Amino acid sequence: MISVSIIGAGNVANHLLKVFDKTEAVSVKQWYSRDISKISSFKNKVSITDNLLELKEADIYIIAVSDDAIATVSKALPFENRLVVHTSGSVSIYDLDKKNKRGVFYPLQTFSKDAKVDFKNIPICIETIGKKNYPLLKSLAEAISNKVYKINPDQRKTLHLAAVFVNNFTNQLYRVAHEITESEGVEFDILKPLILETAKKVQNLSPYMAQTGPAKRNDKKTIKKHLKQLENEHHKDIYNLLTNSIKKTHGR
Task: Pick out residues in 84-103 that bind its own copies (CB under 8 A).
Answer: 90
Distance CA 227, CA 235 (A): 9
**Minimum CB–partner distance for residue 151 and its own copies (Å):** 7
Residue of 18, 82, 138, 226 that binds its own copies (CB under 8 A): 226
Is the Cβ of residue 94 or residue 174 nearer to its own copies in the bound state? Answer: 174
* Contact between 136 and its own copies per CB under 8 A: no
| Chain-centroid distance, C-alpha 112 | 10
Q: According to the binding rule CB under 8 A, does residue 138 interact with its own copies?
A: no
Distance CA(37)–CA(51), nearest Å, equals: 13
Distance (Å) of CA 125 to CA 35, 56, 133, 235: 29, 26, 15, 35
Among 222, 224, 251, 252, indicate the residue that binds its own copies (CB under 8 A): 222
> Interaction with its own copies in 10-49: which residues (CB under 8 A)?
none
Binder of its own copies out of 18, 34, 82, 147 (CB under 8 A): 147
Q: What distance in Å separates the CA atoms of residue 8 and residue 35, rounded to the nearest whole number?
A: 9
Q: According to CB under 8 A, which one of 75, 208, 224, 252 is a site residue for its own copies?
A: 208
Selected from 184, 220, 233, 251, the binder of its own copies by CB under 8 A is: 184
Q: Which stretch binds its own copies (CB under 8 A): 2-10, 44-52, 97-105, 193-201?
A: 193-201
In whole angstroms, the minimum distance from the beta carbon of 116 to its own copies comes to: 10
The yes or no reply on residue 146 touching its own copies (CB under 8 A) is no
- Asked if 76 interacts with its own copies (CB under 8 A), we say no
Residue in 78, 130, 185, 251 binding its own copies, rule: CB under 8 A: 185
